[in-house]
Amino acid sequence: MDVVKERVVEHLKLAQIIAAKYFNIPGASREEVLSEARMALVKASMAYQEDKGPFTPFAWAAIRNALNSLFKKQLRQAQMIGKSLDETIKGVTQFGTHIGNLGQNIKDTRKNVLLEVGARERAKKVSSAIEKLPPEERAIVMCIYKGMSLSDIGKKYGVSKQAIFKKWQGASKKLKYLLVKNEY
């Protein structure tokens, strides 16, 4: 048991270094991340077999796996619960938020009306600028807006992703010009 303790003490700095890269885990504090890293180090030290190779890479992998699992768990939890009580499980609607699941048809009256009006006006300006693009460029912009990758768009239209990228560059320059021209 003394060997296990020695390995843990000797590699605590390793756990801290790895944990520092995971401090952005949603819903987890720094202490939780550090604690998870330390627990993984202890488990790795207990499970380590000397004939399998050096301890440091083994511990590194064990700690990273534990922190990746924590990240996935916290991400699932954040997606299920939402970021705030004002959001529904599916998220925020385009022009307003709804309160909770049960009151989905009740608008949040605390929302700033000027922000909502401004968002609608900007959306109209962007939509009108997109409508002025040639049909091919408009289709590419809409695909990118929907979250498609350049490769997927290229497959959809039977061209390379480089061709899509060039068309996207041209479309984005035109959009910028149209938006600046219309004082967006």
Listed residue (73, 67, 25, 69) closest to 59, CA to CA: 67
Number of domains in the chain: 3
Q: What is the residue range of 97's domain?
A: 84-110
Same domain assignment for residues 122 and 169: yes
Q: Is this prediction's pTM over 0.95?
A: no
Listed residue (121, 141, 116, 90) closest to 183, CA to CA: 121
Same domain assignment for residues 131 and 102: no
DSSP sequence for the chain = -HHHHHHHHHTHHHHHHHHHTTTT-TT--HHHHHHHHHHHHHHHHHH--GGG--HHHHHHHHHHHHHHHHHHHHHHHHHHH-SSTTSBTTB--SS--EETTTEEEEE-TTS-HHHHHHHHHHHHHHHHHHHTS-HHHHHHHHHHHTT--HHHHHHHHTS-HHHHHHHHHHHHHHHHHHHHHTT-
CATH of the domain at 32: 1.10.1740
The contacts found for 141-144 with CB under 8 angstroms, 24 or more apart, are: 141/168, 141/171, 141/172, 141/175, 144/168
CATH of the domain at 127: 1.10.10.10
Same domain assignment for residues 66 and 136: no
Same domain assignment for residues 24 and 74: yes
Same domain assignment for residues 119 and 174: yes
Same domain assignment for residues 130 and 163: yes
Encoded tokens for 178: 């149209």
Same domain assignment for residues 7 and 76: yes
Q: How do the pLDDT tens digits run along the chain, 184 residues long? A: 688 888 889 989 989 999 988 888 878 888 999 999 999 999 999 999 888 889 899 999 999 999 999 888 888 877 766 555 444 444 444 444 444 444 455 555 556 667 777 788 888 888 888 888 899 998 998 888 888 898 999 999 999 989 999 998 999 898 888 888 876 5
